[in-house]
Each structure stands twice: as structure tokens, then as C-alpha cells.
């Protein structure tokens, strides 16, 4: 774009849209920096990613907008920001844009005085959205910026937008620098507030556009950190950064805030009477979603594990590669923490009710619902945005990300992960089809994480993981076929024959990633011991193995199976028991037993 020849005294939709685009591109270029200075409200290192994801939604709207009307454009921008808001700062910025839009929605263009007044309204909207406003944060900088604009307009020092934004920069930079000394956690870390810094980057980019007419480079790489930082280990009392959108004819935001306040901290409720974006830190995401559902229809549910994000943001220098998997993988919680495996939840649907697998619906809760619900559950792959958010966050803290997907033969998860990986700059994400599911997929992800923990670089982690795939298998014993029939996986006639013959089908993974029936155990007597012998006969003799046994609300049977396997196969060097997740449990139902087996030599 050519340089703007005459300083605009009024902004129309086209000019404002281009200025916003330039500001967003500048924000993108600073994502890594913002992540690394993020210590408040928790040091989970994702503020840059959250702000970029929020403004990515705005960028999409700017590309589709066909209006030169400032008010119409800002309404579209605010709606997109509410829909796409991520994290505390993203929700606050979205509410600021909503206030801006409400102030000028009927105006085809705006002058400097109108813009200053609208900015003051936006800052007020943002503060009202936060239950416990803290000074020294994005809220303080928004208020200071609005006051600075008002003062400049009143003094006559900025008659056009180019001069107004240029003159406002010293004041907003000073307000940002004051955050360094306002909050103790920022003073200790010697950083400014990351959310406020993101807003200043946005304004800097808009000002630069009005000076030069250049929108900038959408693919600009993150710049190096220029802040000295020493971050403490505070993780906060709540584990999950939880968000959702509530839509309805009239969403009572005041009552919604009241009902959510007791469920956590850092609560932000942003939006309109028809749609509200909820952000809260909590230990019980399911309680948040249940409370929010009373006010309308839920969408865009997510719950990020801030504990694991904090570990990633301050990981050991010896670990160069991050490992990600989806919740179809069954891995005990203590091993997830020890190996620092990041997981993205699959969606589980019981009719119109949706849950985040293993976050808002634990395996025991899933099986209780499965036993009592008149609706058979469905699972669906995580949306690409969930993968992209995780990948972009981790890319700020690791050299590479290796993502282990449930077998592509049974789910579109692998394709969604691949699509998201391709959108992360620098080729920093490799997605591997585990060709497995449940405990088999979990063993593959664990092995990749052990390689990363041993200090392998990305090339070695990828090669070692590829090599372990054909050495990892999963076996499943279906005691009953009722749930498989309800889900449409097995014809009713097969269930009838199984009952008549008193046989229990055995599932097994294949080399190409299919999960198929590989035999059956006749009769109901001593099923657990016979299943153990079935597996033992298929283990390579004399080759060290490790196993994982999963049970669907059948812990006693699972323990007996574990003991029987150890007795039948002396080459088993390590073994553990864990609840079975939804990936196979949705088809097997309560009572199903699953075993993951891996030929195993520890990485060195």
C-alpha cells in the first residue's frame, strides 16, 4: 500500500480496518516475547499466544468485511473478538473492542474526539467485565490510554489521527512501564504486564500504518526477548484456564458473574446480551460449564492446564522437544506430569450435552453416564483451533513439538492436527500417526516423552518414535457387545450370536492402525486368565516389554489381569493399571479390559 498522503481527520471503515490489520500483524510478531514475559495472573507463558489467537479471529473478519462504515466494522470486529477470545487478556481486549463498538455503532466515520470518547467507553467496559480488577495490568493501561487521548484532544494537540496516535505513544509507553513496579510479581520478575504490552504493540502498529501506509508482514517471526526476567514458581491455587461462550435471547451477565464467582479466580465475563465469553481459573471446569449452561447454549468450551503450561514455560534446558497427544491416549495422571506430556481433549457428546474428555468428564463419570443415559455417546476430534493454540504456545518455549495422534483409521484427529501444524510458522511441529489407540497410543506418547526427557533433539525423537510404532500393540476384551451395537459398530445379529455361543470377542491393533477382531474367548469361565494367556502367546519371546492395563469401571478384574500377565510373561519388566478412557470405552462399555504392550528399551 502507498503511504497515506494526507493525515486523516476522520477515520472511515477502510482506513480503520487497515490500521487494525497493521496493529495485529505487529502483535503477531511479538507473540514469543509476550509469552516469555507472562507472569501474571499465573506464569503460564501463553499471553502472547492468547492475544494472537483472539486477534486472529478479528483478522478473519477484517478480510471478509465489505463495509466502509466504521460503526458496522467495529461491531463485526467486536463480535469476532468475543467469539475468538482466549485467556484473561484476550477476553478483556474483546470487551474493550465491544465498548468501542457500542459507542460508535451508528456512525459511518469518526473524528479524533469521537475516537477518544469511544476509547474511554471501551476501557470502562473492560473494567466492568472483570470481577476483581487489579491495577498494574492491561486494565490500567487501557484507562491511562483513554485519559491520554482525551487530554490530547482537549488541548488541541492532535487535530488528525496521525498526530493523535503519534502523540499518544509516549504516554501509553509510560503507563506500560509503570506496571513493572505496581504489582509485586512483575517487580520481582522485572517485566511489564504481558497483556498490557500486547495492547501497546497493537497501538504502535496502528500508528506506524498511519505514518507510512504500510500494513506490514503477516508472517513476521517473533522477535527476541529484550526484558531481563527472573520468574518465580507461583502456580496459583487453580489449575485450569477455563473458557466457553454462552448464547441466548438474553444472557443475564450480572447473574452469570454472581453464579461463577465462587467457582474460581480471574473471572472475566465479556460480551453482549445475546452472547457472553466466560474466562475463569478453576479446579472444576465441569462445574463452570454446568453453571453457564443455565444461561443459554454453550459453545467453544476449553480448559487449558496451567500447571503443565507453567512447567513448559520454565522447562529444563535439557528438554528441547515438547510432546503433545490427544485424550484418546490413556496415560496415568502421575506419568503425564512426570513426563510433561501435553494433551488436547477429545469432545464427548451425550445428545445435546458436550464434555471435554478427561477435563470436564473423568473416566468414572463417563461410565456412570454411559450406564444411565438413554442416548449413546459420540466422540469427536478436537477442533483445529485447540491444536493450533497448543502448538503456538509450545513453539514459544521449545525447539520443536512432536504430536502423537490417535490412529487415523478411526478418527479425523490426525488430519486436524496436521492442518493446525501447517499453520505454525517455522515448521516446528511434526505430527505422528500412532497407528494405535487408548493404552497403545499412550505408550507411544510416553516413549516419545522419555526420549525428549533424555535430551534427544527433534530428529532423534521423531526417528525413535517412528521405530517404536510397530513394536506397540493394543488388545481389548469385550465382555458385552451392547454398547458396540448401540453405537452402530456391531450389527445386532453378531451380539445375538455372541450370546448364544457364550463368547467374548478380542480386539487387536494391526500394523496399519486398524482395530479389528482377532478371535474370541469361548465361555464365561476364567475370562481374565484366558485373556492374559491370549496376549502372552503373542508377545515376542525373550524381548523386554512393558504393559499397561486399562479397565472400564472394573478395577478388581484389571488387577487380576495384571497379575496374570506377569505370571504368563516373564519378559514384562514394568506394568501399571489405569482407568480406561473413552476411545475404546465408548464401544466396550463398563467391564471392558484393554492391554497396551510395547517392546521396550529405555532411551539413553
Report all structural domains of the chain as residue ranges with CATH numbers, in order of start.
10-212 (1.25.40.340), 235-304 (3.30.70.980), 305-469 (3.40.50.10170), 472-599 (3.30.1180.10)
* Predicted confidence (pLDDT) per residue in 476-516, tens digit: 998 777 766 665 555 566 566 666 667 788 889 999 999 88
* Predicted confidence (pLDDT) per residue in 120-156, tens digit: 999 999 999 998 899 999 999 999 999 999 999 999 8
Beta bridge partners of 299: 245
Q: Got the DSSP string for 356-373?
A: EBTTTB-HHHHHHHHHH-
Alpha-carbon span 178 to 590, nearest angstrom: 57
Query: What Cα–Cα distance (Å) separates residue 207 from each residue in 163, 265, 319, 342, 598?
Result: 9, 35, 40, 39, 58
Helix (H, G, I), strand (E, B) or coil at 340: coil
Residue pointed to by grid coordinates 463452570? 288
The residue-averaged pLDDT of 299-317 equals 76
* Predicted confidence (pLDDT) per residue in 228-258, tens digit: 333 333 346 889 999 999 999 899 988 999 9
- The residue with greater pLDDT, 417 or 482, is 417
129-149 core/surface letters (b: 16 or more CB in 10 A; e: else): bbbeeeebbbbbbbbbbbbbb
Q: Got the DSSP string for 226-242?
A: -S---------S--EEE
Residue 356, pLDDT score: 92
Beta bridge partners of 78: none
Residue 499, pLDDT score: 67
Angle of helix 47-64 relative to helix 70-84, nearest 10 degrees, comes to 140
Closest CA to 381 of 402, 353, 406, 350: 406
Cell numbers given for 305:
492446564
Tell me: pLDDT of 65 over 50.
yes
Residue pointed to by grid coordinates 500483524? 25
* Residue 341 and residue 331 in contact, taking contact as beta carbons nearer than 8 Å: yes
* Residue 323 and residue 404 in contact, taking contact as beta carbons nearer than 8 Å: yes
Alpha-carbon span 514 to 409, nearest angstrom: 6
The residue-averaged pLDDT of 554-568 equals 95
Alpha-carbon span 156 to 48, nearest angstrom: 35
Closest CA to 445 of 524, 328, 350: 328
- The residue with greater pLDDT, 3 or 367, is 367
Closest CA to 129 of 241, 244, 266: 266
* Predicted confidence (pLDDT) per residue in 338-349, tens digit: 899 999 999 999
- CA 527 vs. chain centroid, Å, equals 41
Q: Which of 364-373, 458-467, 519-528 has the highest mean pLDDT?
A: 458-467
Burial category of 492 from C-beta neighbours within 10 Å (exposed 0-12, middle 13-18, buried 19 and up) = exposed
Residue 393, pLDDT score: 86
367-394 core/surface letters (b: 16 or more CB in 10 A; e: else): bebbeeeeebbebebbebbbbbbbbbbb
Confidence of residue 524 (pLDDT cuts 50, 70, 90): confident
- The residue with greater pLDDT, 203 or 225, is 203
Alpha-carbon span 346 to 276, nearest angstrom: 24
Cell numbers given for 106:
451508528
Alpha-carbon span 591 to 371, nearest angstrom: 11
Residue pointed to by grid coordinates 445379529? 493
* Predicted confidence (pLDDT) per residue in 312-332, tens digit: 766 545 689 999 999 999 999
* Residue 77 and residue 123 in contact, taking contact as beta carbons nearer than 8 Å: no
Alpha-carbon span 164 to 155, nearest angstrom: 11
Alpha-carbon span 457 to 425, nearest angstrom: 19
Amino acid at each position: 500500500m502507498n503511504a497515506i498522503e494526507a493525515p486523516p481527520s476522520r477515520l472511515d471503515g477502510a482506513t480503520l480496518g487497515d490500521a487494525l490489520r497493521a496493529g495485529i500483524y505487529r502483535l503477531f510478531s511479538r507473540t514469543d516475547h509476550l509469552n516469555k514475559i507472562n507472569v501474571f495472573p499465573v506464569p503460564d507463558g501463553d499471553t502472547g499466544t492468547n492475544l494472537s489467537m483472539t486477534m486472529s479471529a478479528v483478522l478473519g473478519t477484517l478480510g471478509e468485511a465489505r463495509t466502509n462504515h466504521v460503526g458496522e466494522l467495529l461491531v463485526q470486529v467486536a463480535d469476532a473478538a468475543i467469539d475468538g477470545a482466549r485467556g484473561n487478556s484476550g477476553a478483556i481486549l474483546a470487551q474493550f473492542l465491544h465498548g468501542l463498538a457500542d459507542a460508535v455503532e451508528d456512525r459511518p466515520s469518526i473524528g479524533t474526539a469521537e475516537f477518544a470518547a469511544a476509547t474511554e467507553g471501551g476501557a470502562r467496559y473492560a473494567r466492568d467485565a472483570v470481577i476483581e480488577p487489579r491495577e498494574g495490568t492491561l486494565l490500567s493501561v487501557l484507562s491511562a490510554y483513554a485519559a491520554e487521548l482525551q487530554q490530547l484532544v482537549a488541548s488541541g494537540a492532535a487535530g488528525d489521527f496521525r498526530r493523535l496516535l503519534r502523540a499518544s505513544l509516549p504516554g501509553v509507553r509510560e503507563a506500560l512501564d509503570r506496571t513493572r513496579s505496581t504489582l509485586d510479581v512483575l517487580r520481582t520478575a522485572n517485566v511489564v504486564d504481558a497483556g498490557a504490552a500486547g495492547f501497546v504493540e497493537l497501538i504502535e502498529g496502528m500508528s506506524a500504518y498511519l505514518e507510512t501506509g504500510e500494513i506490514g508482514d503477516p508472517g513476521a517471526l517473533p522477535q527476541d526477548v529484550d526484558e531481563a526476567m527472573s520468574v518465580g514458581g507461583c502456580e496459583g491455587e487453580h489449575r485450569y484456564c477455563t473458557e466457553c461462550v454462552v448464547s441466548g435471547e438474553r444472557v443475564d451477565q450480572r447473574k452469570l458473574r454472581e453464579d461463577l464467582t465462587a467457582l474460581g479466580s480471574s473471572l472475566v465475563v465479556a460480551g453482549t446480551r445475546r452472547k457472553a465469553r466466560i474466562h475463569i481459573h478453576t479446579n472444576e471446569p465441569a462445574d463452570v460449564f454446568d453453571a453457564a449452561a443455565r444461561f443459554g447454549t454453550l459453545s467453544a468450551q476449553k480448559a487449558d492446564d496451567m500447571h503443565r503450561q507453567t512447567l513448559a514455560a520454565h522447562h529444563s534446558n535439557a528438554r528441547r522437544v515438547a510432546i503433545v497427544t490427544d485424550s484418546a491416549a490413556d496415560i496415568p495422571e502421575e506419568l503425564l506430569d512426570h513426563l510433561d506430556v501435553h494433551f488436547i481433549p477429545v469432545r464427548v457428546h451425550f445428545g445435546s450435552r458436550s464434555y471435554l474428555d478427561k477435563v470436564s468428564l473423568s473416566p468414572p463419570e463417563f461410565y456412570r453416564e454411559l450406564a444411565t443415559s438413554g442416548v449413546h455417546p459420540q466422540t469427536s476430534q478436537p477442533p483445529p483451533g485447540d491444536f493450533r493454540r497448543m502448538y503456538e504456545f509450545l513453539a514459544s518455549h521449545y525447539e520443536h513439538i512432536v504430536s502423537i495422534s490417535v490412529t487415523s483409521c478411526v478418527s479425523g484427529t490426525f488430519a486436524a492436527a496436521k492442518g493446525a501444524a501447517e499453520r505454525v510458522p517455522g515448521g516446528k511441529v511434526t505430527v505422528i500417526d500412532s497407528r494405535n489407540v487408548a493404552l497403545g497410543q499412550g505408550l507411544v506418547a510416553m516413549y516419545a516423552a522419555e526420549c525428549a526427557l533424555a535430551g534427544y533433539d527433534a530428529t532423534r525423537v521423531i526417528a525413535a518414535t517412528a521405530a517404536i510404532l510397530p513394536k506397540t500393540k493394543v488388545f481389548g476384551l469385550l465382555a458385552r457387545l451392547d454398547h458396540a451395537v448401540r453405537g452402530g459398530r456391531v450389527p445386532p445379529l453378531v451380539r445375538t450370536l455372541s450370546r448364544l455361543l457364550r463368547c467374548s470377542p478380542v480386539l487387536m491393533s494391526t500394523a496399519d492402525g486398524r482395530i479389528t477382531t482377532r478371535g474370541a474367548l469361548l465361555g464365561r469361565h476364567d475370562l481374565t486368565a484366558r485373556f492374559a494367556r491370549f496376549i502372552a502367546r503373542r508377545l515376542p519371546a525373550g524381548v523386554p516389554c512393558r504393559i499397561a492395563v486399562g479397565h472400564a469401571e472394573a478395577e478388581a478384574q484389571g488387577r487380576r489381569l495384571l497379575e496374570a500377565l506377569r505370571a504368563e510373561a516373564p519378559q514384562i519388566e514394568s506394568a501399571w493399571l489405569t482407568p480406561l478412557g473413552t476411545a475404546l470405552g465408548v464401544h466396550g462399555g463398563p467391564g471392558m479390559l484393554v492391554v497396551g504392550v510395547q517392546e521396550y528399551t529405555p532411551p539413553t
